[in-house]
Amino acid sequence: MTQILPASQQGIEHAARLLCQGQLVAIPTETVYGLAADARNPHAVARIFEAKERPSFNPLIVHVPDLETAEQIAVFPETARHLAERLWPGAMTLVLPLRPGSGISDLVTAGGDTIAIRVPAHPVAQKLLRQAAIPLAAPSANRSGRISPSRAEHVTDPNGGLHGRIAAVLDGGPCGVGLESTIIGWQGNDAVLLRPGGVEAETIEALLNQKLRRPHISIAANPSTTSTDQTTESGNDLPPGTPSAPGQLSSHYAPNAPLRINADAAQPGEVFIAFGPAIEGGLTLSHDRDLREAAATLFETLRRADRLGRPIAIAPIPDEGLGLAINDRLRRAAAPRD
């Protein structure tokens, strides 16, 4: 049985105890719910892959309460510290050299010499991290390839959720950002956008006074024709020197129903998701065409559309600001499946 814990002091203390014992607990963050385990405990981390049915041991993001703790685990170049000081706590993950002797399990880094690290802003995540006082490895708390959870009840959803597979869900309410974090890595001195996400690429570029490089990945260039070869998720087939780019499975974040993107109107039988006022019988990501609202409602709206049991068509979303991350998720959700 999976317990639902309230985000009270008691609930947080209980979640912290479970995590320290090596159990899995789904936790709220401002982006999406994470499936957390003690990042130093290989058995606990292995359970994450088991619960998610992840096809490969691709690396996980480690969550810590502050920059000071992050510096015990990763080595920060000047530019990385600059970003961390400005944007943490928040929806940005940095991929940095792993500090030797950090105690992080090899499974978290997939045996590599870099680590993805983030300081979440959600007050419940902050309290939990301080209470547990351990680094928490946490991918999104969904089964592999499915829509990420932006509410506690998505985590336990009988259709594709993790009910019965994890010890508990700490219920911190709906996630404010609603999309996963922006992931930044480094290639020499250049910062690379490994995954668009909850912090706009433009915000990071303004802080760095530099354009972010985009990794040269086949899926990014031509998502609809890439095979579902799982090895691409860990970047195994990239040219030497390219940082591994996350989330490269071509089909990902997928609803059950087929999804058609950049649709101007619904075809007969389709559920239409608008960006702007909803059409009759349809849904919208944001009535006012607000990208922040669209990001926050994206996964929830895909779930609602999916429950109607019909093919889904979704309107074009502007490819700027948070629209970059929304379109990235939509392309994956619409990609061919096995």
Note the Cα 293 to chain centre separation in Å: 17
What residues contact residue 245 under an 8 Å CB cut-off, 6+ apart?
A: 194, 195, 215, 217, 220, 235, 238
Residue 334 engages ligand TXA in binding (rule: CB under 6 A): no
Q: What is the pattern of x (binds Mg ion, CB under 5 A) and - over residues 92-131?
A: ----------------------------------------
Cα–Cα nearest to 48, from 153, 181, 165, 195: 165
Cβ of residue 242: shortest distance to ligand TXA, in angstroms? 11
Q: Which of Mg ion, ligand TXA, none has residue 41 at its interface (CB below 5 to 8 Å by kind)?
A: none
In the complex with ligand TXA, the residue whose CB is nearer, 184 or 334, is: 184
Residue 109 engages ligand TXA in binding (rule: CB under 6 A): yes
Of 23, 31, 41, 79, the one binding ligand TXA (CB under 6 A) is 31
Compute the distance between CA of residue 86 and CA of residue 243 in angstroms, rounded to an integer.
24
209 to each of 24, 83, 87, 184, how far by Cα in Å? 40, 11, 15, 15
160 to each of 21, 25, 137, 165, 270, how far by Cα in Å? 26, 17, 21, 11, 22
Sign of torsion, CA 264 267 271 277?
A: positive
Amino acid of residue 10: Q
Return the range that interacts with Mg ion (CB under 5 A); candidates 106-114, 138-146, 231-239, 322-330: 138-146
Q: What is the pattern of x (binds ligand TXA, CB under 6 A) and - over residues 127-166?
A: -----------xxx--------------------------
Return the range that interacts with ligand TXA (CB under 6 A); candidates 109-117, 219-227, 257-265, 278-286: 109-117
Residue 140 engages Mg ion in binding (rule: CB under 5 A): yes
Residue 192 engages ligand TXA in binding (rule: CB under 6 A): no
